Amino acid sequence: VVRISELSRATDVSLASIKYYLREGLLQPGSATAPNQAEYGPEHIHRLRLIRTLRDVGALSIERVRRILAAIDDPGQRRHDLFGVATRALEPDVTAEPLPAEEAARGEVDAFVAALGWEVRPEAATRHELAQVLVALRRLGREAEADVFGPYADVAERLAAWEVSTIDPSEPPSVAVERMVVGTVLFERALVALRRMAHEHQSARALDDATPGAGSEARP
């Protein structure tokens, strides 16, 4: 049990940020020990680290962090829907009115997802995101159809099947939702970084191939 200054040191979160999270209700209040003084426990340390991860690594807004924490604190009782709770809490709001080009692309994305046989909510923000990517490709002059996403969908399906299989069904719901949210945010960051690393590696291989004798070892 620690004072707010030690909480700040233990979590590397500034006093100003801790006070802001307390005011915003993202961090539960400590136990009052005197007027204007409170003590904080391990649950506060964990919550602050979670907020920091979602903010710094996930680059999520305060509003989205609030929604995620609400889902973790009250995940509901339907165990089979915990992934859905995590998915919806992570989902950005789609507020902008779609442009005509986006509506057409959206129909193509819907057909693509249906052809995959995937059960995804009609209102899922991910459908909108794929449509945006398709529109952006076309705006930049590429003749892309929705099946340009095929190889990525294959990879995502195999990865997700493995990821879901690693979930421990005996965990309490709030722990499970936190684990799913954290896993989604952190491993999507890792996946993106690894894809860029792999691009760099392939580029280095191409360089070696183009410069006979420059490689230090034989390559397949």
Q: Shortest approach of a copy of itself to residue 54 CB, angstroms?
A: 10
In whole angstroms, the minimum distance from the beta carbon of 89 to a copy of itself comes to 12
Among 2, 22, 38, 57, binds a copy of itself (CB under 8 A): 57
Q: How far is CA 136 from the centre of its chain?
A: 22
User: Shortest distance, CB of residue 211 to a copy of itself, whole angstroms?
Assistant: 8
Between CA 70 and CA 49 the distance in angstroms is 16
Candidate list 15, 32, 70, 99; residue touching a copy of itself; CB under 8 A:
99
Measured N-to-C along each axis, helices 173-210 and 82-90 cross at an angle, to the nearest 10 degrees, of 60
Does residue 114 touch a copy of itself according to CB under 8 A? no
Q: What per-residue string of b and e applies to 120-129 under the rule 16 or more CB within 10 Å gives b?
A: eeeeeeebbe
Helix 4-11 and helix 15-23: axis angle, to 10°?
110
Let me know: does 142 contact 105? Beta carbons within 8 Å: no
How many residues bind a copy of itself, per CB under 8 A? 77
User: Which DSSP symbol is given to 2?
Assistant: B
Which span (22-30, 33-41, 66-74, 137-145) binds a copy of itself, by CB under 8 A? 137-145
Selected from 15, 32, 111, 136, the binder of a copy of itself by CB under 8 A is 136
Distance of CA 134 to the CA centre of its chain: 21
Write out the two tokens for 190: 């890792």
Segment contacting a copy of itself (CB under 8 A): 15-23, 31-39, 62-70, 135-143? 135-143
Task: Choose which of 36, 210, 212, 218 interacts with a copy of itself (CB under 8 A).
Answer: 210
CB 65 within 8 A of CB 54: yes
Residue 115 binds a copy of itself, judged by CB under 8 A: no
Interactions with a copy of itself, residue window 68-87 (CB under 8 A): 79-84, 87
